[in-house]
Chain A
Amino acid sequence: MTKLTPILSAHWDEKDSFTIEAYKRHGGYTASTKALAMDPDAIIQIIKDSGLRGRGGAGFPTGMKWGFIPQGDNKDHYLVVNADESEPGTCKDTPLLMANPHVLIEGCIIACHAIRAKHAFIYIRGEVTHVVRRVNQAIEDAYKAGLLGNGIDVVLHIGAGAYICGEETALLDSLEGFRGQPRLRPPFPAIAGLYARPTVVNNVESIASVPAIIANGAEWYQGMGTEKSKGATLYSLSGHVNNPGQFEAPLGITLREILELSGGVRTGHTLKFWTPGGSSTPIFTSEHLDVPLDYEGVSAAGSMLGTKALQIFDETTCVVRAVLRWTEFYKHESCGKCTPCREGTWWLVQLLRDLEAGKGTEADLAKLLDLCDNIMGRSFCALGDGATSPITSSIKYFRDEYIAHITNGGCPFDPVASTLFAGAGA
């Protein structure tokens, strides 16, 4: 059985874990002191050797991304931390920042030194007031302690409710003061990012993983995980389970193991479907309980590791209702820049609403797949592709349930049975 490995989460159980005192008590800011005395390229090499891959969804090797920043170009470089966390199911960066914002700031100092940047921006979604307070206070305290302001500055930027701003180029437009819409790539941010300057965009968890790697070495980190997916990461378990929560474990742990450790699917019920990495990753079923949750394992099984957001739905859940709701989300969040996504998600919603209400036909099901085909790979950014994932994967595994809505003339499920308070007289 894979063991849990609390690293980022190691001290979250201390009441003052978010303060600079608590962070320093556990060796905080010693890794940045060490790193600032090192050659920047040596830091990039350690991160490359550690095998750390981006935790924002795509799994791109972090050290390699840093290595793309041109050197000696006499331009300003920027680090931008993506704390927009809005992918449905994803809930790891938010508790991390609430419990320990300083690990991110220390990571920013190290990353800035490595990529020769003087400025880091932390872009936090706007719907988390208390997280904003914690990070803002942490930045202030780091300045007071002289950890920031001596050549490296960190600026907090707060979003205003737009999922698309998590997409890195939309985020940059938003940070520059425009509507958050994706940019054409190339040029990639490493060449022309924020203010058209070389920029690294990394997820919160990616940057927060850096101090421990510098402190303990690349070998320590790559000693955890699987062949191509090194290290440990936060898995977020939610939905129809007895005990939802955050689980920090080596990459490659399985859902079966996490469920066994945590107390399983809610008592008296069975697993029906789940997402391995948020709503944009194709759903899995109980067939996939033993898929290693690393980048390769999940891909080989037909989905993506994504943000490791394990959303669990039991047999009381109507898959058509779930998929419609996700699709409404994508329609709402489509930035409108390209036609396949803007128009396509609108049509997907219309068709799914009819199907859920029992007014659809088998021809509609075919039309749904046809539409997905026209969105997938033809959209300007990955939001459009992601919007098709729940639909195509659910039709693959639960076609009969869609048909049952048609023959039944409506939804055969009782929505109350799926609620947390079912049977509690709510």
Chain B
Amino acid sequence: MAFSNEDLAIMATIIKRYPRPRSAIMPLLHFVQSRDGYVTNEGIELIAQQLDLAAAEVTAVSTFYTQYKPTPVGEYHVGVCTNTLCAVMGGDEIMDALKNHLGIENNGVTTDGKVSLEHIECNAACDYAPVVMANWEFYDNQTVQSAKDLVDSMRTGNPKPPTRGPNSLVTWKQASAVLAGLNDGKANEGVQAGAPTLLGLKIAKGETK
């Protein structure tokens, strides 16, 4: 996709956040994903031009980090935590079930372009295991069935909302813009905490049975 003048203006404000322009490379890569869905060659060239770097220098950074995708992912990118704790608690079963259910492998995308699947590492939500992420929003305490229902809801265009996140699931591109540091106005949506987060506090206050 061609980048508009408005896009270029946004990129300029991202660069201005930092004392040194090169520091903006990561948010700019997220930004490119928010427009193109993945890190395109055009995006790399543009970042290189804006930061006065060689394209190879931008590529070297882009390929180091797993969240920058070299090829398109789905409108809803699903990550199943299969690090030890989640794996043992059912993450492995969930991952296998989703592969079968969607007919794709790890890092695959459904033919309708709606859903892609990736096994991910610990996502800092182990007290909500097994954890599934979609566009990096939390879907806590998943089962094989709830995970299948989730991806089905994505394919019919009405994805279930995250358990700890905004009122509705945003698309991959929209989430990438948030990761570029752009405010989508949804910070106040959703719960402040889930039950496990509050457990110690409730016990301290004598509010548990």
Contact = CB atoms under 8 A, between A and B. Distances in A.
Contact of A246 (B26, B84, B85, B127): B127
Contact of B125 (A91, A179, A329): A91
Interface residues of A, number: 93
Given A155-B17, A243-B199, A162 B65 contact: yes
Contacts of A385: none
Contact of A132 (B87, B89, B129, B179): B179
29 contacts: A6-B200, A9-B200, A17-B193, A18-B187, A86-B121, A95-B194, A126-B65, A127-B136, A129-B137, A133-B178, A136-B178, A140-B183, A160-B66, A160-B68, A176-B23, A177-B23, A177-B24, A177-B26, A180-B64, A235-B200, A245-B195, A248-B201, A311-B84, A322-B88, A329-B121, A332-B121, A418-B89, A420-B130, A426-B144
Interface string A180-201: 1000000000000001000000
B126 A236 contact: yes
B116 interface: no
A125 B26 CA distance: 12
Interface residues of B, number: 82
Contacts of B17: 155
B136 A128 contact: yes
B204 A5 contact: yes
Interface string B122-155: 1111111110010111100101110000000000
B193 A98 contact: yes
B196 A244 contact: yes
A159 interface: yes
A416 B93 contact: yes
A425 to B, nearest CB: 9
Interface in B52-94: 60-61, 64-68, 79, 82-85, 87-90, 92-93
A12 B83 CA distance: 28
Contacts of A329: 83-84, 121-122
Interface string A236-249: 11111001111111
Contacts of A18: 187-188, 192
Given A3-B204, A91-B127, A248-B201, 6 more contacts: A13-B193, A13-B205, A88-B85, A137-B187, A239-B129, A326-B83
Contacts of A332: 121
Nearest to B28: A177
A301 B68 CA distance: 41
Interface of B: 17-20, 22-27, 29-30, 51, 60-61, 64-68, 79, 82-85, 87-90, 92-93, 120-130, 133, 135-138, 141, 143-145, 162, 164-166, 170, 175, 178-181, 183-184, 186-188, 190-205
Nearest to B138: A130
A150 B178 CA distance: 26
Nearest to B58: A177
